[in-house]
Each structure stands twice: as C-alpha cells, then as structure tokens.
Amino acid sequence: MDEKIDRILISEDEIRDRVEQLAASISQDYQDRGPVVLIGVLKGSFIFLADLARRLTIPRVVEFIAVSSYEHGDTRSGAVRLIMDVRDSIEDKHVLIVEDIVDSGHTLHYLLDMLQSRRPASLKSCALLRKAERAEVDVTVDYVGFEIADEWVVGYGLDYSERGRTLPYIGVIAT
C-alpha cells in the first residue's frame, strides 16, 4: 500500500495529539451526565473510536452501526441504507456518533435523523476528518479532528479498496 501513498498528510504524532484534545473536550462536555454512548460508524471509524474511547475520562459505552451509500455507476446518489444497527436502546441516553470522515454529509445526516427519532437525551457527532468543500448537505459536526482538502486519503481506519486501513498516519493516495 505504501507505494500508492503520494505523501503523508497527517502524521501519527499529529493524530495522537488531536485525539487527546478531542477526548479532553468531550470528557469536559459530558462530565456528570452519566455514560455517553459512542456509536462508531463501521468500518472506517474503528481505530479512531478505539483511541478516542481509551482517552476519555468519563463513563462510556461503545456501540457500532454500519451503513452503505447507494451507488449508480461511478456516482453516489446520496441515498443511505442501514446495514447493521446498534444493539441497545439509546432512548434517554447521551449519544455521540463517531465517524472517520465527513465529506458530502449524507451519511451523517441520515444517522442524525434516524438516531434522533429514537429520543436520546442528547445527540452529537465527532469526525476525525472533514472535507468541508465537498459538503452537499448542511450537517453539524460537533467535534472535528482535522479539516482537509478534497483528496483521497487512507490510513487510521480509512481505506482504498479495503487496503491501507491500518496505516498509523493519514496519507494521500497518488492519482
């Protein structure tokens, strides 16, 4: 996979430092609220979620959800479908969706709408990466690790054809 990496965009040290900062902010915001339910969006969020969850200083529970975007040829329609749901009820619980990347915003918008209908006490989102210039849907990301340009990136959970997920950094794919 390294042969396809054009350059390292975000180093392992930068990721570690930013995850620490995000965990401190989240811990402060959720202090004295009881456990927060962290919902990791599979597959891309698993490494970020694990590191974030370990650095939180508040009670937390980890859940996972999987979604898929409908594709028509080479384009995405924006339609999203649920592949795997959380196992437990989130009613009256504080929920934080943890995403690897937000680009068009369709997936996060879908998840926020769907999960809000389940009446959580609160519902917020956290993304390691956001490509603001790719936004097609107005969606709030409450905690953002890094704003990045519109480039294809891999590593730290993100993949290219299921390769590169376990790289310890975020790299840009050579095009």
> Who contacts 174 (Cβ-Cβ below 8 Å, separation ≥6)?
4, 5, 6
User: From its phi and psi, is residue 8 left (phi > 0), alpha (psi between -120 and 50) or beta?
Assistant: beta
Q: Which residues pair with 122 in a beta bridge?
A: 94
CB-based burial, 107-121: b 16+ in 10 Å, e otherwise: bbbbbbeebeeeebe
**Residues annotated as catalytic (active site), given as ranges:** 103
What is the amino acid identity at position 36? V
Kindly report the number of other CB atoms within 10 A of residue 146's CB atom: 16
How far is 172 from 7, CA to CA, in rounded Å?
6
Q: Exposed (0-12), middle (13-18) or buried (19+): which is 23, by Cβ within 10 Å?
A: buried
